[in-house]
Structure 1
């Protein structure tokens, strides 16, 4: 019986589906191979695109999600505690010169330390123990560094009468510290109608202002240390996300409204890190631009695109992922992907934009070793507006730690600037700096909490 080869040939035989192809056994299955290859390539493309999108989404959300609690995590190891000094494992934080404070037990322990004065072992540093602000002494254990140096409130840290007020902002009541000058406590007279609005940085707190409040009080200024949306103790925004100053400036504007309503004739905006960016944006958009007399910026976020690209590059994120993350933050469709209620106006937060719109005298401190907010955009702004911006670089200081690196120099420069720009009738030579001795004994009622 003869086999019918045509009947027994597989229906998948390419020669049946493609009869025009020449019979070449070595290429008999190439159409199927091509289809499998295309399917695999499409699958790999889909997976790669998915991973790229997921990575970009994480990258875009990282700077937007409030993470205040991370600041209190232990990052220092205490190896020995003596009556006059403390030994710590050396790290970028403990090995850097300048003032540093440590907190343990969430604030039940708070110690103020002086600059590095020795290296007991190849892996440890010694710092003088200047003061303990709490009843419980420092322990040999893990501790959290406190770059604000002082803890608590202006009253518990410096003995300055402090009023807790609430600022009515577009998203609700924002708590703030109000510190008025007092000539009986050494304040210069006649400057109480000049208000300093103090704006802390990303994931930070009002305590960031404690380092300069004594100087502002000595110069006779009224100080208002504010909070803004998504801070601990303050109302959240609709999407519970930071907008990197794009919207937070409205809370600083509300603080200016409050100041004006309570007698402020002139305003000085003071900001650290993202707070510096908020101050810049407020100075450009405020309805009270004519009342703003000066800006003081400390390691400010002048260019958010530069900051985001810097950190993404340090994480070795590929360029397409970086571009996609920025698109998610700045476009309406992309904003929905990261759960922002509206895209961020990052193009309006650049040196070029501020160069065009800035009208106020500005003192700009920036740490040259800043690994959080690179100093180059600050340099650019100062170079493009030398008529308004005085750029003060600080060698050997990390992000917003210029005061810690050299409090005498920092306060002298700040005092000189404010006296000159504001026309304060006060002899700068009579202002002893630092106004508050970093090693002064703790006041009665001192606490170690970060507020």
Structure 2
């Protein structure tokens, strides 16, 4: 073989080898990303360093991060989530540190904390709200799942709100919304769902991004209706937003839903995956491979999913025309995990039913913490416009 031909063949083989190596690397990255999204984490990253704690002065000094620089009150988890404190407003800040007030320490010795993470939870149980509540069990397809039942402020009510938390967290995340609904005459059902660490596990122990979790919300809807509810509002946080939208469009009880509230929601998983890929500076093809892994039966070999996910059904920007109930979306443009672009697109597609309360600086599921008055006001005004709220007002006027 002439030398030039050998060089050419060698070049082609080398190029194919490089292409093959790149394809393998992209596929490997895709598997890692796909699993990271759907595998429940054993523990969360402690991403904020603690510089000092002065319990007598009631001050904690943290490294400066996008979350630690936010105004407001937050949960601070430490000691691998065995410790919990509540931190308040910023006292002072430098380019590298933030000093905040300590509102209280619920569990653990904060003085020994070296690292931790800030979340928006703030309340750990309904007892922190200083309201009456009961522990109840919801009969889901996988078994009984614990829930909190918080009655309306004026007693038994036929109007119920079902609160659904997000990915990799638990029920307490949603407690911030309970007082507003309680004040408005709603009984609140704060639920758990499969694979969240409280409800029963699925056989594959994988999140389905709302594609199967909605069945547990459906069970909660059935529970509410069998215990006196005649009208429901579904309240979903983050992935809980995707879950309640599935319940709204797939449950046999959906005709009882009078409205939906979405906090930092995933309304389009493809947009969310795009954002995560770009944020990590990964090849653009990773997102496409991840979707293939979720959608096709052979993907289970790499993801561990028991059955494929219907990603297209989880896109409510494309499915906007199918929605027919009032929707309130609260989302911050600097979310950092779930982009607000899809929320904005849904609001643009359905201005007749979707109300968007857009923040610019509040991060993911921390809007209440950042500006409680604005957040609660938005929900209060939205509730007042519901047909059921107007009927209650008219009924009260007639009785008076």
Q: Say whether the fold is shared (TM-score over 0.5).
A: yes
- Cα deviation for residue 106 of structure 1 reads 5.5
- Cα deviation for residue 242 of structure 1 reads 0.8
Q: 1:70 aligns with which of 8, 22, 44?
A: 44
- Cα deviation for residue 335 of structure 1 reads 4.1
- CA gap of 1:78–1:338, structure 2 versus 1, over 3 A, is same
- CA gap of 1:221–1:333, structure 2 versus 1, over 3 A, is same
- 1:91 equivalent to 2:65? Answer yes
Relative to the length of structure 2, the TM-score reads 0.89
Q: Whole-Å Cα distance in 2 between the matches of residues 348 and 43 of structure 1? A: 38
The residue that corresponds to 1:158 in the other structure is 129
- For residues 94-243 of structure 1, what are the structure 2 equivalents within 5 Å? 94-105=68-79, 109-119=83-93, 121-133=94-106, 138-139=110-111, 141-155=113-127, 157-181=128-152, 187-189=153-155, 192-243=157-208
- 1:423 equivalent to 2:386? Answer no
- Cα deviation for residue 348 of structure 1 reads 1.5
- Cα deviation for residue 37 of structure 1 reads 5.2
Deviations 1:321-353 (A, max 9, x none): 332222121223334432222221111222334
Q: Is the 8 A contact 2:31 2:302 kept in 1?
A: yes
- CA gap of 1:106–1:44, structure 2 versus 1, over 3 A, is closer
Q: Whole-Å Cα distance in 1 between the matches of residues 189 and 357 of structure 2? A: 24
- Cα deviation for residue 74 of structure 1 reads 5.6
- CA gap of 1:240–1:138, structure 2 versus 1, over 3 A, is closer
- CA gap of 1:109–1:337, structure 2 versus 1, over 3 A, is closer
Deviations 1:195-250 (A, max 9, x none): 11100001111011121222222333111111111110222223211111111111
The residue that corresponds to 2:254 in the other structure is 289
Deviations 1:381-432 (A, max 9, x none): 11111111100011310011110011112112212221331316579xxxxx
The residue that corresponds to 1:351 in the other structure is 316
Q: Whole-Å Cα distance in 2 between the matches of residues 160 and 342 of structure 1? A: 41
Across the aligned residues of Structure 1 and Structure 2, the Cα RMSD in angstroms comes to: 2.5
How many equivalent pairs are there? 391
Deviations 1:96-141 (A, max 9, x none): 222223234456654322222322x44222223333445x663263
More strand per residue: 1 or 2? 2
Q: Whole-Å Cα distance in 2 between the matches of residues 269 and 322 of structure 1? A: 30
Uncovered stretches (5+) of structure 2, i.e. residues with no partner: 395-400
Relative to the length of structure 1, the TM-score reads 0.80
Q: Whole-Å Cα distance in 1 between the matches of residues 12 and 117 of structure 2? A: 55
Q: Whole-Å Cα distance in 1 between the matches of residues 313 and 359 of structure 2? A: 27
Q: Whole-Å Cα distance in 1 between the matches of residues 302 and 342 of structure 2? A: 29
- CA gap of 1:277–1:62, structure 2 versus 1, over 3 A, is same
Q: 1:364 aligns with which of 306, 329, 350?
A: 329
Q: Whole-Å Cα distance in 1 between the matches of residues 177 and 130 of structure 2? A: 14
Secondary structure class of the residue paired with 2:304? coil
Q: Whole-Å Cα distance in 2 between the matches of residues 317 and 386 of structure 1? A: 34
Secondary structure class of the residue paired with 1:247? coil
The residue that corresponds to 2:273 in the other structure is 308
Structure with the larger RCO, 1 or 2 (CA within 8 Å, 6+ apart): 1
Q: Whole-Å Cα distance in 2 between the matches of residues 174 and 40 of structure 1? A: 56
Secondary structure class of the residue paired with 2:342? helix
Q: Whole-Å Cα distance in 2 between the matches of residues 93 and 100 of structure 1? A: 10
Q: Whole-Å Cα distance in 1 between the matches of residues 273 and 95 of structure 2? A: 36
Q: Whole-Å Cα distance in 2 between the matches of residues 49 and 269 of structure 1? A: 43
The residue that corresponds to 1:250 in the other structure is 215
Uncovered stretches (5+) of structure 1, i.e. residues with no partner: 1-13, 15-26, 182-186, 428-451
- CA gap of 1:45–1:260, structure 2 versus 1, over 3 A, is same
Q: Is the 8 A contact 2:237 2:264 kept in 1?
A: yes
- Cα deviation for residue 317 of structure 1 reads 1.8
Secondary structure class of the residue paired with 1:126? strand
Tell me which structure has the larger Cα radius of gyration.
Answer: 1
Deviations 1:303-328 (A, max 9, x none): 10011011112222222333222212
Q: Whole-Å Cα distance in 2 between the matches of residues 97 and 66 of structure 1? A: 30
Q: Is the 8 A contact 1:98 1:404 kept in 2?
A: yes
Deviations 1:31-63 (A, max 9, x none): 666665555555444433322222222122221
